[in-house]
Amino acid sequence: MYEILRLFPDEIKTAIKLKVGKRWDKLQEIRVRLNQPIELIFDSGMEWITQARPNKKDNTFIVNQLSEFSLYRMEDELREGYITIEGGHRVGLAGKVNTVNGSVKAIQYITFLNIRIAKEKIGVATKVIPYLYENRFLNTLFVGSPQSGKTTLIRDVIRIISSGWNQVPPKKVGVVDERSEIAACLKGIPQHNLGNRTDVLDACPKAEGMMMMIRSMSPEILVVDEIGSEKDVQALLNAINAGVTVICTVHGQTLEELMKRPSILPLLEKKVFGRIVLLKGQSSPGAIKSIYNENEKNIYQKTGCVPNEMDRGTSLHRSNDMVRFRVEQ
């Protein structure tokens, strides 16, 4: 955790080390607020460091460490509100914002920081991969609330697909990493293991990046994180029509919730995805709740099921007065 601890002055660094102890693998976030106790968020809950309240001098030290003593070098990051540091950790920023003609130019006074601990979990996708392959890898949508493990899961999916799985040869994978979370590139170099045949467009808008990646790197599998806008959806459809398999994530807690979102609904109505993987949520990061196939059946074998027994308890069919999945004629 050197990459994280180096950000803090000695007193705060010592307090964090003492509080975390041997629980670094359970730590999700370190939240720093000027003149307030430091907040640590673990898998099991939240804890405070009350004896170390960062003052203005401490805050300046942290910002200088982040920017390597040059805020001008962070101009683009300041406009986006986060910085990716060595190790793939992402630091969210908040404070006084400067605007020009109604658009954010930069964060002038950084007084709130959220250090999100990057967790590369090799092998976490091993159990889900067999569900995503049926003579070929299928268009797949991962659905989950924030911090449900979506990005960690698709990162390992990328690694497995681009390194070769079972008897399936390695595939060319293109990642459009708009928020630098999947690959966590630092100066263009991924900080996470994405396999042997993966190419990355870092900090590139998804809609533009998908077609750029297809034209420049000819991927067989295209991966993007957190689709949402109509432009994202149209770019996904264009990629699929170009013969590329798409794997992506979206924020949501239920499929019913997704079906109420106008931008996402066309993808569901057209049955674009051969698999829809629904995650349990923040309480169980990375845990699978359901996996639906193109026939609207939950095919996920939950723990305790007998071999080859499918869970048919959940269907995507809705009553007539609600939007439902349908096969396009």
Q: pTM of this prediction?
A: 0.75
Lowest mean pLDDT segment, chosen from 99-113, 179-193, 233-247: 99-113
Where residue 312 falls among pLDDT bands split at 50, 70, 90?
very low
Tokens matching residue 289: 């709740």
Q: What is the pLDDT of residue 77?
A: 67
Strand order, beta sheet including 45-49:
45-49, 38-42, 27-33, 103-116, 90-100, 82-84
Domains of the chain as residue ranges with CATH: 2-116 (3.30.450.90), 129-292 (3.40.50.300)
The first and second tokens of residue 169, run together, are 């040869």
Q: What is the pLDDT of residues 173-201, one digit of tens each?
A: 999 998 888 998 878 889 899 999 999 99
Residues whose CB falls within 8 Å of the CB of residue 285, separated by 6 or more in sequence, listed in order: 43, 147, 148, 149, 152
Secondary structure element (H or E) that encloses residue 15, with its range: helix 10-20
pLDDT, tens digit (0-9, with 9 covering 90-100), for 196-232: 999 999 989 999 999 999 999 999 999 999 898 899 9
- Helices 230-241, 206-217: axis angle to 10 degrees equals 20
- What pLDDT was estimated at residue 72? 57
Structure tokens of 278?
Answer: 């629904």
Average pLDDT over residues 63-69: 79
Residue 323 or residue 124, greater confidence: 124
